[in-house]
Chains A and B, each alone.
Chain A
Amino acid sequence: MSRLERLVEDRSATIVTAELPVVDGGGLKDVQHHLNRLAPWADAINATDNAAAHAHASNVAIAIAIQQAGVEPILQVVCRDKNRLAIQADIVGAAMHGVENVALLTGDDVTAGDEPETRRVFDLDGPQAIKVARTLARGTYLSGRRLDPAPHLFLGAVENPAAPPAEYRVDRMAKKIAAGARFFQLQICYIPARLEQFVQRARDRGLTTQAAVLPTICLLRGARALRFIDEHVPGISVPSETIDKVARSTDQAEAAYQLALSQAGHALSLPGVRGIHITDFRHDEAAARLVEELGLRQSLSKEHDAHNSAFAV
């Protein structure tokens, strides 16, 4: 059973996951460099799958690298680039190396990336991919052919609390839970009222006891990055007041940090939220500071501290 699964089941712990920045040419040294920064406070770290529809070192290769560094990975799997055979092969192959956490999502379209002429696949959609992964965990491929012994998997998903139709988003979350998702790394939401409404609806439906909700918090350098997200990231809008407030500051990096801190504080104050997922685009000390100032490092178990100090050597 993965650490993430234990924390989700435990119900009392506040969970912090993080995203490993994409790796291109830097190899394992690059992975290690990022882990040195993220692993001391993260419970599990996402290995992204061609994030934003740009090709990078593969999700499976990165997840295995994280695992072999003694840190717990979350294999992210998107439906854009691979058909159902390849998706099953990736999950089974990663599981062979001990990767248990898998987050399955539909994925950005190819038009969001730098090779928009690519053929999009979407042979499965997000909810179908979750159920296919659960099928693997129950000991068969989608065809019914046996997989023995069955890999132990802990499945998760993504949902966008702010995208229309707002009242349907919780139905979609319920569908993903029925398919097998046990944790949700929500997409970044710059409209606190929307996040609040989503979590409230999920709680009213009893969904927050069936799956752990982890809103994403993005660490950015300033107003330019916020503007970029607003204009270029599908499904995410940033209110102009929010951008202006950071833009007007004399220290934009600090203002952007304070924005993330208040977002995280707000998210964690919502009943039904089990933790946060941190996407760090700054690559500096801000992520560790955020976790520290939220008082989350104290909540980490001794076992985890021991694990990480061993890792840091």
Chain B
Amino acid sequence: MLKTMIRRAGKCAVIAAAGLMMMSAQAAEPIKIGSFLSVTGPASFLGDPELKTLEMYVEKINEEGGVLGRQLELIHYDDVGNASSARNFASRLIRSDRVDIIVGGSTTGATMAAVPLIEQAQVPFISLAGAVVITTPVKKWVFKTPQSDRMAAERILTDMKDRGITRIGLISGTGGFGSSGRTQTLEVAEQMGMEILADVTYSGSDTDMTAQLTNIRNTKGVEAVLNFGFGQGPAIVTRNYAQLGMELPFYQSHGVASDSFLELAGSSAEGLRLPASPLLVPDSLPDDDPQKEVVQNYKAEYESRWDSKVSTFGAYAYDGLMLAVRAIEEAGSTDPEAVRNALENIKGYVGVTGEFNMSPEDHNGLDADSFRILEVQNGEWKLIN
């Protein structure tokens, strides 16, 4: 009896000593921020600005003295937009790199592939992907920075309702983004008492959507058209829409909220509206807007450092990194449980994407108002509200 007790006490002492040693060693060690992003491959337009943003701000934070007196170390892998390699890299980050927190996952596919592993390993994870499934239902260790497609749908339909529109023609891409957006739009429309009269789709590689649009045009009672899609498809839809001479109010989703979309769609885009990050119109935000300064700074810093146009997607990484830093500071350590709790309780963090108010029920922390409704006027984005 006594022997076992002594033995146990001995074991405890050894463990405690080892723990102390590890802690003191850790004080000098950098805080490891892990990341897996789609830097190349089909989703590179997401991963590329995200990685650039992470690199640049980790550097900046380190120059300013780091976090909790420790330097940050960014460990990143390129998943090439492939979900199974995302999972492998997440596993490597956890098991061999032993990172303190993960900020990454450019696409919903990559994120969801890594989630089970991360939940099991109990490492705080901030995803940079959009779909609503990432944080609904809430997963203990998973957070995300972009607004979900559901919020986009809510924002668009609210704006339509404000204009007195209740009957909509919907055209959506069959890709992950488009089909998830379609589902959300159908649900939100039902809740808001709006009717989807026409519901057509196109695949990502389609080169002409005139047939689908003609279908909508011939549906009686449609008051506005909404296109939920991604990539070049929506630009073709926009052009066909103009060619067909359709005059109904036209909405796009946040998936195409970028200057390159304007370039592709050209004058056909005139008058269309979409929900977007304030990053597209930093200078037209009112001065009392709390986001104005953050947005302007991010845009200026990114563009001077990389000599390329800032994108909404990079901003997700900015917010992800800043949330991680803030949580570590508030937790006062890199203990995963403490960091996770701190993340969950972040209130009033003003980022580029919006104002984050996390809670145990909401691991995204944004509301639909963080989207601004923009309209294309004279080939430029114009803030509507």
To the question of whether A and B form a pair in one complex, the answer is: no
